[in-house]
A and B are shown apart, each in its own frame.
Chain A
Amino acid sequence: MDRFLYLTFDGLSRGAVYAAFALALVLIWRAARIVNFAQGAMAVATAYAGYSVTSATGSYWLGFAVAIVGGLVLGAVVERVVMRFVDHSSPLNGVVVALGLVLIIQGVLGMIYGNEFRPAEAPFSRDAFQIGGVALLSRYDLFVFAAVGAVVVLLTLLFTRTSTGLRMRAAAFAPDVSRLLGVPVGGMLTLGWALAAAVGSLAGMLVIPTELGLHPNAMDLLFISAFTAAVLGGLDSPVGAVVGGLVVGLVLTYVSGYFGANVAPMAVLILLVVVLLGRPDGLFSKARARTA
């Protein structure tokens, strides 16, 4: 029972990271109707930047901030310089271009930093402390919950309470009508990419210290897990992304805990297959005509 509780909290902590990353994927899907296959590579790139700043200045938090801001910038640049010029009439075009970006980013990172694993320290202790005599959560886990929670709250406020959020949603749901009402649709798209990438960078910074280390391919499996979470929740549902993320986190942690860590990647694949074949629209999606 103790083990189960411990795994549950561990799973929720991992799940929170998947939720954040899945949110990044959902944000871009809602805005641009494409799955950003380069999101993992983009997050790794900003993580490298962040950790470089940390080693140069000795401050983790400065590096953390640099990574997030780097995400904002990278997202905006990718949208303006590359994605804007892709012919979106076929969904495959965006996928292939994103894969090209993955190659570029991983190649450049390898050239600058090399392909060995670099150690990445966590800002807080990862030792679980005791609650009622059971080792459940670590300080780091609490930090993860707080960070992801803050992101969810901030994004919700942005989209439901602010004019900018309204503009972004309108631009995503009905671009032509929005233009007629004076909404700068192109600018809103860039902003959407920037925010999504920043969220992805946050997720990256949260997960790296729990992995083997920093490496150009470090986020490949995270992408798959988050993609699974996003599909599970429904690609156009932010609530679904969060729920999906937590579910995937729990499932993977239970599988690792009871069957060994080696089996975890297989579990992701099986889960993805089950979701794609069983309920491809996801649990929370509402397929509907966007204007009427």
Chain B
Amino acid sequence: MTIVEPRATKTKSRQKSVGRKLSPVLVVIVGAALVVTLTYVLPPFRNYQLATIGAYLCVTAGLTVLTGLNGQLSLGHGALMATGAYTLALWQNKFDQLLPGIVLAVLVTTAVGAIIGLAAARLRGPYLAGLTLAVAVVVPSITSTFDGTFNSDQGLSVALDPPPGVIPVEQWQAWICWAAALLTALVLAYLIRGRFGRDLRAVRDDETAAKLAGVGVARTQVLAFVVSAACAGLAGALFAVLAQSVSPGAFPLTLSLFLVMAIVIGGLGRLSGALIGAFLLVALPSVAQSIAEDAGSQHLEGNLALTFFGVVLVLVMLAAPGGLASLRLRRRNRKSHA
């Protein structure tokens, strides 16, 4: 792996990066315009789905950074979303100030993410997966342990002010979610294009080489975890707003697995992949539900989506001969075999 880039590439990438530096802002502006237009055109239920995609995009973007760019597989981001959601719920029920509530949710989840990230930085492969899996399974049960605060399985409702003016609720939700999503995408886009992104990839591709090049491996990995946790906390808070309630049943293990699936299928390492993943997370269950309704079976609902996701995930992994590595779309120098 080359540590010093040859001259020719440097000039090219500088040109490209100037061009690229313009485009995240452009993309966000265009995206915002698109979303706003859509919200005036779509019926309320579709607006709600649009809002959900936006909320998912926050967490899938963060996971793309963590797993796609930095190579750490986390199976516990559903639990981090739950942390953000419950924080918002508890805050809203006391103070009913949405924006500070969301900020607090992000901060609390970031702190939790830092703790997990510190532990995770020393782990690799199946050990990291196992730890984060344990987090995903165990954290929802905290609601039962401290059921005074968290009200156990029934969960909490979230107090929310109605939208300003005569804007319908779903439209307002879509605006909130996409404002957050686009902001997240913008921040992440800049982080990725800079030194942070290079460090992430360097550590993922070859830890030893990265260390030799002066990259702080553990620090990079913890930062990646923290960033993705912040995104998950944001997404969780948005989920609480959308559902106007929180409960452990809304954040099961399968949610964490869905998130992994979403970024794998969307294509690791690119924010556009995160968008595809977020879209699939809303579209596929919706399709599954209409199939289930037509079939008239209650069992089908939800479970069909699960099965579908699983099949797609297995097929994608088998079809991509390099597995996760080949799904990263940026060109890499092939390492020659010894």
Contact = CB atoms under 8 A, between A and B. Distances in A.
* A touches B (Cβ under 8 A): yes
A273 interface: yes
Interface string B291-317: 000000111101111111111111001
A103 B254 contact: yes
A266 B140 CA distance: 10
Contacts of A93: 317, 323-324
B311 A35 contact: no
A95 B135 CA distance: 16
Contact of A276 (B119, B317, B323): B119
Interface in A83-117: 85-87, 89-93, 95-97, 99-115
B134 A224 contact: yes
A227 interface: yes
A102 B317 CA distance: 14
Contacts, number: 162
B162 interface: no
A82 B314 contact: yes
Contacts of B29: none
Interface in A12-47: 34-35, 37
Contacts of A87: 321-323
A272 interface: yes
Interface residues of A, number: 51
A273 B117 CA distance: 12
B17 interface: no
A268 B299 contact: no
A82 B324 CA distance: 16
A268 B134 CA distance: 8
Given A103-B313, A265-B137, A111 B307 contact: yes
Contacts of A96: 73, 260, 264, 313, 317, 323-324
Contacts of B322: 87, 89
A35 B128 CA distance: 12
A166 interface: no
Given A35-B129, A100-B317, A104-B310, A92 B305 contact: no
A100 to B, nearest CB: 4
A107 B304 contact: yes
Contact of B129 (A86, A92, A100): A92
A69 B142 CA distance: 37
Interface string B143-186: 01100000000000000000000000000000000000000000
A227 B261 CA distance: 22
B133 A262 contact: no
B264 A217 contact: no
A220 interface: yes
A262 B138 contact: no
Contacts of B103: none
Interface string A215-244: 001001101100110010000000000000
B314 A100 contact: yes
A114 B321 CA distance: 35
Interface in B68-87: 71, 73, 75
A231 B126 CA distance: 10
A92 B309 CA distance: 18
Contacts of A92: 71, 73, 125, 129, 323-324
A108 B138 contact: no
Contacts of B145: 262-263, 266
Nearest to A99: B257
B130 interface: yes
B269 to A, nearest CB: 14
B119 A273 contact: yes
B123 A280 contact: yes
Interface string A265-280: 1101100110011001
A111 B303 contact: yes
Contacts of A105: 310
Contacts of A113: 299
B40 interface: no
A230 to B, nearest CB: 9
Contact of B126 (A34, A82, A100, A228): A34
Contact of A95 (B129, B131, B302, B308): B129
B57 to A, nearest CB: 21
A115 B125 CA distance: 31
Nearest to B71: A92
A107 B141 contact: no
Contact of A224 (B138, B142, B306, B313): B138
B252 interface: yes
B10 interface: no
Nearest to B115: A273
B99 to A, nearest CB: 32
B241 interface: no
B70 to A, nearest CB: 12
Given A97-B313, A231-B130, 17 more contacts: A35-B130, A37-B129, A85-B318, A87-B321, A91-B124, A91-B126, A92-B324, A101-B314, A104-B310, A104-B311, A104-B314, A111-B304, A114-B298, A220-B137, A223-B133, A262-B145, A280-B127
16 contacts: A37-B133, A82-B318, A85-B318, A92-B129, A96-B260, A96-B324, A97-B317, A100-B309, A104-B307, A105-B310, A110-B299, A111-B297, A220-B137, A224-B138, A262-B145, A273-B131
Interface of A: 34-35, 37, 82, 85-87, 89-93, 95-97, 99-115, 217, 220-221, 223-224, 227-228, 231, 262-263, 265-266, 268-269, 272-273, 276-277, 280
Interface of B: 71, 73, 75, 119, 122-127, 129-131, 133-135, 137-138, 141-142, 144-145, 252-254, 257-258, 260-261, 264, 297-300, 302-314, 317-318, 321-325
Q: List 7 A-B pairs, minimum CB-CB distance, nearest first.
A: A103-B310, A107-B306, A107-B307, A110-B303, A104-B310, A93-B323, A100-B313
